[in-house]
Amino acid sequence: MTDTVRSLRSKLKRRQTTIGSWITLGSTAVAEIMARSGFDWLVVDMEHSAITLNIAQDLIRVIDLCGVPPLVRVGHNQPNLIKRVMDAGAHGVIVPMVNTRQEAEQAVRSVKYPPMGFRGVGLARAQKYGRDFENYRSWNQEHSVVIVQVEHIEAVRNLEEILSVPGVDGFIIGPYDLSGSLGIPGQFDHPELLEALSNIRTTASRLGALSGYHVIPPEASDMEAKLQEGYDFLAFSLDILYLGQACTQALNAVKIPEANHEA
């Protein structure tokens, strides 16, 4: 593991602000471009994409070799899936729909080896294909990252218990699903959602917890607003929106001669 990679969990523990992004396209070229763009970390999304484990390992490898910590958002809180992405070389996981203390404990224990966890021992890319298990075991216990997603009102109610689990490094809010759990999907200005977000910030501030938010639109003003609100683990948009917006902006900037319109 490089010093850059080792430093991510240290940054999170110090509540140092970091900015990452989301990868949903199974392209190593896209992963390399984003890894060389200055993000502090990148997430390979295996929940809402067609990315398979084989593709995820290739993306993890490219991100890692660029000196950026690769995280994986797993499809669900399933120990075997978490173990496999960690063995593939992920430096941590983002686990969706963690609504209780017990679910948070399962996520941590799936990442860590005994005695802290119950992850089984395998020899794959993370362990340098069997050449360096002991160093990896030591690194994993100290530096692997576990972020839980708060995306249901039940998680908001149980947030203090969830964040008190040893090994949970912080949380990231999934605004769409959180609004959906309240019966107001996508209504981000609705009073019920704003109240839930306020309760999350109050609890996180009281506990000194790392607070994350996924800002979906690739707009700097939206990111700046979340920074002002005190979030320090920020995901800034995702690959497909960057690509789509850049294409649209570039095309709209082209001035077509009026004569062509008339023709």
Q: List pLDDT tens digits, range 195-242.
A: 999 999 999 999 999 999 999 999 999 999 999 999 999 999 999 999
- Residue 191 preceded by cis peptide, ω within 30: no
Instruction: Collect all residues with Cβ–Cβ distance below 8 Å to 78 and sequence separation of at least 6.
Output: 110
Which entry of 48, 143, 214, 261 is annotated as an active-site residue?
Answer: 48
Q: Is the pLDDT of residue 4 over 90?
A: no
Whole-structure pTM value: 0.93
Lowest mean pLDDT among 5-14, 69-78, 105-114, 159-168: 5-14
* Cα angle: 154, vertex 104, 125; to 5 degrees: 135
What percentage of the chain exceeds 90 in pLDDT?
94
Do 212 and 150 form a contact (C-beta atoms < 8 A)? no
Do 18 and 11 form a contact (C-beta atoms < 8 A)? yes
The structural domains of the chain, ordered by start, are: 3-262 (3.20.20.60)
Stretch (H or E) spanning 33: helix 28-35
Q: Is 48 a catalytic residue?
A: yes
| Other residues' Cβ atoms within 10 Å of the Cβ of residue 19 | 16
State both tokens at 263.
Answer: 């023709």
* Cα angle: 78, vertex 82, 84; to 5 degrees: 120
| Other residues' Cβ atoms within 10 Å of the Cβ of residue 29 | 9
Do 161 and 100 form a contact (C-beta atoms < 8 A)? yes
- What pLDDT score was predicted for residue 5? 52
- What pLDDT score was predicted for residue 255? 81
- What pLDDT score was predicted for residue 260? 66
Which amino acid is it at 261? H
Q: What is the largest CA-CA distance in the chain?
A: 75
- What pLDDT score was predicted for residue 47? 97
- What pLDDT score was predicted for residue 139? 95
| Other residues' Cβ atoms within 10 Å of the Cβ of residue 242 | 18
Tens digit of each residue's pLDDT (9 = 90 or more) over 152-198: 999 999 999 999 999 999 999 999 999 999 999 999 999 999 999 99
DSSP H helices, 71-219, are 79-87, 101-111, 133-143, 153-157, 159-163, 175-181, 191-207
